Structure 1
Amino acid sequence: MNVTKVQTNVEAQAIAAKKAAKKVSLLSNEEKNEALHILADTLEKNIQVILNANEKDLQAGREKGYEEAYLDRLALSKERITDFAEGLRQVAELEDPTGKILSNWTLDNGLLVEKVSVPLGVIGMIYEARPNVTVDATGLALKSGNAIILKGGSSALSSNKAIVEVMHEALIETKIPQEAVQFIATTDRVATQQLFTMKEHIDVLIPRGGGSLINAVVNNATVPVLETGVGNCHLYIDVEADVEKALNILVNAKTDRPAVCNALETAIIHKEWLDKNSVALNATFKKHNITVHGDETALRYFPNAVLATEEDWANEYLSLDIAVKTVANIEEAIDHIETYGTKHSEAIITENKDTAKVFMSLVDASALYHNASTRFTDGGALGFGAEIGISTQKLHARGPMGLPALTTVKFLMSGNGQIR
């Protein structure tokens, strides 16, 4: 397909989405909820259709030599499809974030001022190998009164096409027009670049994936970007950390799903705690097949470890590898996070509440944990029903982004002939 034709097709889809967004914004909460339940039911009825398409993507990925972590993000199962269908039902149960009077006041001249939440409009979603994002993002966008343009990665093309076709089939039975859910089916990069610049049709872009994708969108888009971040997540085990809590949390954060962005990548350990508990920690690493990349001090405690490089401290492994940094105090731990963290999720294990307070106050990240796993940085786990991404920036939205993050505000003024 030539460049001009790709651009024309993408622009036509964006124009259609913008028109559809107006219709979605006028729907009642009940009409949107009914649509989400129909979407969920239809996805479950078509599980095998989606799995057949997903197998095509997985087979292509195996032939291309994709790593297991990547294939895990790409893979669907009956349980995963059921889970994201259930996520749509949970979103339906959530409070409608639009049409809320956030504040109001009356001026001295009698003019009534209301600050009201409204949909963003058209959301452009650019993402990589997670087909579940196709459903999660669509559900959140529609519930919050928006239209959405989906641009998934080429590795999940068959899966995403099948999912969107099923959702379009379901939308026929609802008040939401099919045009409110657009899918860019081409793998041509021209299509992605076109999305970057259509400010007249798209209100916001949300990239979700690896660092190179996110940087490409942030650095090249003229459309406003809600930046999501990669997760170089740290766990600081303080000198006053409970051993059982530390080991259990470390194992969960590292091994539950190593390929996700809220998984643990670096353990920062107080030297005194490590000196007392290295045997138990080393046994834990061996039991769970965790490969240690440690500093010179850590190497003395973990005989199977490899010496960490500068790259290891910044690496999002997405595997059963972990970097281990030893420190003498909390200040060194915070400095290390400040240098290498991605402002995603950071945790401290300590029984000292004052130490925890210092950590929670000084570490700059979207999600901070005291004596708990970083794996909770997730819209579903935090009660959002689903998430459209985890924002590591500070403007508009931060942390797991659910329904409120997909709204903006209008100021509505009502008068009786006032002039200025």
Structure 2
Amino acid sequence: MSTSIREQALACREASIHVAGLSTERKRALLHDMAVALAADAATVLAANARDMEAARANGIGAAMLDRLRLDEGRLDGIVRAIGAVAALPDPVGRVTRSEVRPNGLVVERVRVPLGVIAMIYEARPNVTADAAALCLMAGNGVILRGGSDAMHSNLAIATAMRSALPAHGVPVDALTLVGDPSRETMVELLQLVDIVDLAIPRGGEGLIGFVTEHARVPVIKHYKGVCHLYVDSAADPALALRLLVNGKTSRPGVCNALETLLVHADIADTFVPAAVAALRERGVEVRACERSRAIVADLAAADNTDYGAEFLDLVIAMRVVDDLDAAIAHIRRFGSDHTEVIATRDEIAAERFVRELRSAVVMVNASSRFSDGGELGLGTEIGISTTRLHAYGPMGAESLTVERFVVRGNGQVRE
């Protein structure tokens, strides 16, 4: 008889208590052994991924999703190294973030503690299986992984390898639970378990995130779409701006931190637009542009508002010539998804205005949008990039999987 999702979640809840009790050294040793086990099972994982890739191609899965699904020796080695990087980070659990003494002598501390049980809902991204498990465990939590059916064999192979390290460290294997039933009915039931699950994090396309948000009764932090912008200011270094554009759009177009829209200041449009179009076309990028851009390069496809709000996840980019910084900021506020924005400029005042006046989770000055990633920003890896303004915003590492509570220390004080 199969185990119900509620029974699985309850088992994870019980196991999470053991994880929460581990010292920093024991958690680091556990993650080290998980990384070793995953590396040792590389052949099994890659064979499982090959099965998923074959099925995905037969089902007509698009190029962007295939790229996210694919594992090779290099990518798997990166996953293993990311687990080690998480293990080496400072432990957020038990950290006192603030301490003060009240006039009555009470010592009031704010201390980080685990969330409890985290449900990770994701699509064809087998790396998330390892990343989420490592981060949740380092933060003292249990984790329930519900991956998409397209990556089921890959996810199972990764989770099996990592779970094998748990018993030796006195942690029940249910602390890392992989849901074997990919049906939406089971996912909805999981999202209704308000007495067991403390947080759900969906990571995938708009359809998945919308579905989770609509059906969840547990708290949800959304890893929403990445409509990322590069604004090339009139004071930009043209060569630098072109590097940011090419890297941000073409290095891996199917990920959420890839550029989707290019905004160009009108004062430099006559020279920068042709250079940008040439550089993008050389790399196979389709450019959809505004009328002002098309007046400079006549054979560009016309863009509309749908393009400016799109996460293409492909070798496609929308382009618009804007009058000034104010117009660029207004465009991003209208069409952006609060993910990542980049300005290329040598004008420090313009850069500071861009940073101050945009509220996106990550704002960059003269750096590629592709750095909007937990690993690149010092988190070891990430469980997602939150575009929901709750307790975490932007790339989420282990600290984002804890919360602050109050610890009050006294010597007999009573309230009069």
Q: TM-score, normalised by structure 2?
A: 0.97
**Equivalent residue number for residue 15 of structure 2:** 20
Moved over 6 A (4+): none
Shift of 1:247: 0.7
**Partner of 1:222 in structure 2?**
217
Structure 1 partner of 2:332: 337
Corresponding residue for residue 149 of structure 1: 144
The DSSP-based 3-state class of the residue aligned with 1:400 is strand
Shift of 1:334: 0.9
- Residue of structure 2 equivalent to 1:237: 232
Report the counterpart of residue 137 of structure 1 in structure 2.
132
1:302-341 maps to which residues of 2 (within 5 A)? 302-341=297-336
Q: How does 1:255-266 map to 2 (within 5 A)?
A: 255-266=250-261
How does 1:1-400 map onto structure 2 within 5 Å? 9-400=4-395
Cα distance in structure 2, aligned partners of 1:150 and 1:85: 18
Deviates more, 1:276-285 or 1:219-228: 276-285
Alignment partner of 2:267: what SS? helix
Pairwise CA distance, 1:21: 0.9
Cα separation, 1, equivalents of 2:217 and 2:301: 43
Give the whole-Å Cα distance in 1 for the aligned partners of 2:405 and 2:278: 57
Q: Is the 8 A contact 1:101 1:115 kept in 2?
A: yes
Residue pair 1:32, 1:176 contacting (<8 A) in 2 also: no
Q: 5+ unaligned residues in a row in structure 2: which ranges?
A: none
Most deviating of 344-353 and 271-280: 271-280
- State the 1:281 CA deviation: 2.2
Q: Is the 8 A contact 2:264 2:273 kept in 1?
A: no
Once the two structures are superposed, residues 154-197 of structure 1 have per-residue CA deviations (whole angstroms, 9 ceiling, x without a partner) of: 11111111111111222233233211001111121111101111
Alignment deviations for residues 308-353 of structure 1 (CA, whole Å, 9 cap, x no partner)? 1221111100111000011111111111101100000001111111
Q: How many residues align?
A: 415
Query: For residues 81 and 170 of structure 2, what CA distance do their matches in structure 1 show?
Result: 21
Q: Secondary structure at the match of 1:247?
A: helix
Kindly provide the amino acid, as one letter, of the partner of residue 379 in structure 1.
Answer: G
Q: Which amino acid aligns with 1:264?
A: L
* TM-score, normalising length: structure 1: 0.96
What is the CA–CA distance in structure 2 between the aligned matches of 1:170 and 1:303, rounded to whole Å?
60
Q: Could you list the per-position Cα deviations for residues 376-415 of structure 1 after superposition, in whole angstroms to 9, with x for gaps in the alignment?
A: 1101001110101001122201111111101012222233
CA deviation vs aligned residue, 1:17-53 (integer Å, no higher than 9, x gap): 1111111111110110001010101111111100111
2: CA distance, partners of 1:387 / 1:413: 32
Report the aligned-residue RMSD: 1.4
276-285 or 144-153, which deviates more: 276-285
Mean Cα deviation higher: 151-160 or 220-229: 220-229
Query: What's the CA shift for 1:270?
Result: 1.4
